């Protein structure tokens, strides 16, 4: 089996700020999966992987990610939404 036959997803976890080895919450669900054609078809199909995130002045969190090892994509959320997701899903 090669990497091109696997699906890669993007997840999130909430860590303790004083002890980053302590996991407060780690949801069993993913926050992003390959669904769009540019995420499903490319050099490595059905793969999304994080490339970084930037919190904007208005509170929006821009999450940059790779799709199918072919393109760089953007998803948007907020830190509050991610924390809520960690604690409630």
pLDDT in tens, the chain (89 residues): 455 457 889 999 999 999 999 999 999 999 999 999 999 999 999 999 999 999 999 999 999 999 999 999 999 999 999 999 999 98
Please give the pLDDT value at position 5: 55
Domain definitions of the chain by residue range: 3-88
Please give the pLDDT value at position 63: 97
Please give the pLDDT value at position 1: 44
Give the separation between CA 20 and CA 35, rounded to whole angstroms. Answer: 32
Give the separation between CA 33 and CA 30, rounded to whole angstroms. Answer: 7
Please give the pLDDT value at position 8: 87
Phi-psi label, residue 42: left if phi above 0, alpha if psi -120 to 50, beta otherwise: left
Take residue 80 and report the two structure tokens written for it.
């509050």
């Amino acid at each position: 089996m090669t990497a091109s036959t696997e699906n890669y997803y993007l997840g999130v976890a909430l860590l303790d700020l004083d002890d980053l080895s302590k996991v407060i919450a780690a949801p069993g669900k993913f926050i992003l999966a390959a669904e769009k054609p540019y995420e499903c078809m490319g050099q490595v199909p059905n793969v999304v992987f994080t490339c970084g995130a930037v919190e904007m002045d208005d509170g929006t969190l821009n999450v940059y990610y790779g799709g199918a090892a072919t393109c760089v994509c953007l998803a948007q959320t907020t830190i509050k939404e991610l924390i809520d997701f960690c604690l409630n899903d």
